[in-house]
């Protein structure tokens, strides 16, 4: 996907957020007589207004269900993660960055290390799923979250632990220490 397409999606997403809070503005200069709030006519007017504002029900079978690739998903996944970070939802952004999505048809599976992360993710899941559905043009898309307590995050506290962790990531660090005659202190 090209950078221009992602930029267009960013602009469209920001416009979507602006449209999320619409206000109903009624014209003030009308020649109709004022209706008392306690009259039967006011009840009829309220019902008419509610009927005109009612949502249109869409048949889910009529919505598009295009296939998508992991690359395309990851582009929007990272974009949404950054958007969450910028709007102050850092925990959701962090959770999204730690989870690696796996695609199975129109189901996206993610694995989180604990129940707290799952709860945090589910709080913002609605916004994420709706955004991904629009951008990937697949309205059958769902996200399934699994908790895997056996996922352990390695933390290094002592100097030796930090050295061993670096050595696991890059065994050549040992050569560096020997070449420059470095000590752990």
pLDDT mean over 41-48: 83
With cut-offs at 50, 70 and 90, classify the pLDDT of residue 32.
low
Q: Which fold has domain 70-147?
A: GMP Synthetase; Chain A, domain 3 (3.30.300)
Q: Tell me the percentage of the chain whose pLDDT exceeds 70.
A: 77
pLDDT at 1 over 60: no
Residues of the chain with CATH 3.30.300: 70-147
pLDDT at 25 over 70: no
Q: What is the pLDDT of residue 101?
A: 93
Contact (Cβ atoms closer than 8 angstroms) between residue 144 and residue 104: no
Cα dist. 40→31, 36, 44, 125 in Å? Answer: 20, 9, 6, 43
Q: What is the pLDDT of residue 19?
A: 44
Of the candidate ranges 25-29, 85-89, 178-182, the one whose mean pLDDT is the lowest: 25-29
pLDDT at 22 over 80: no
Mean pLDDT estimate for the chain:
80
Contact (Cβ atoms closer than 8 angstroms) between residue 125 and residue 161: no
pLDDT mean over 33-52: 78
Integer Cα distance of 130 and 141 in angstroms: 9
């Amino acid at each position: 996907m090209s950078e221009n397409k992602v930029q267009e999606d960013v602009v469209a997403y920001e416009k979507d957020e602006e449209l999320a809070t619409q206000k109903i503005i009624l014209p003030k200069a009308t020649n109709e007589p004022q209706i008392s709030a306690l009259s039967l006519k006011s009840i009829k007017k309220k019902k008419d207004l509610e009927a005109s504002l009612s949502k249109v029900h869409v048949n889910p079978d009529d919505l598009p269900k295009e296939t998508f690739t992991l690359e395309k998903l990851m582009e929007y996944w990272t974009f949404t993660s950054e958007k969450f970070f910028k709007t102050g939802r850092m925990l959701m952004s962090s959770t999204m960055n730690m989870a690696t999505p796996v695609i199975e048809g129109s189901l996206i599976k993610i694995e989180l290390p604990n129940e707290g992360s799952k709860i945090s993710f589910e709080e913002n899941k609605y916004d994420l799923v709706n955004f991904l559905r629009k951008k990937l043009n697949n309205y059958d898309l769902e996200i399934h979250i699994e908790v895997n307590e056996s996922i352990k995050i390695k933390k290094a506290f002592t100097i030796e632990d930090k050295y061993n962790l670096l050595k696991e990531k890059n065994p050549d660090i040992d050569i560096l220490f020997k070449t420059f005659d470095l000590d752990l202190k």
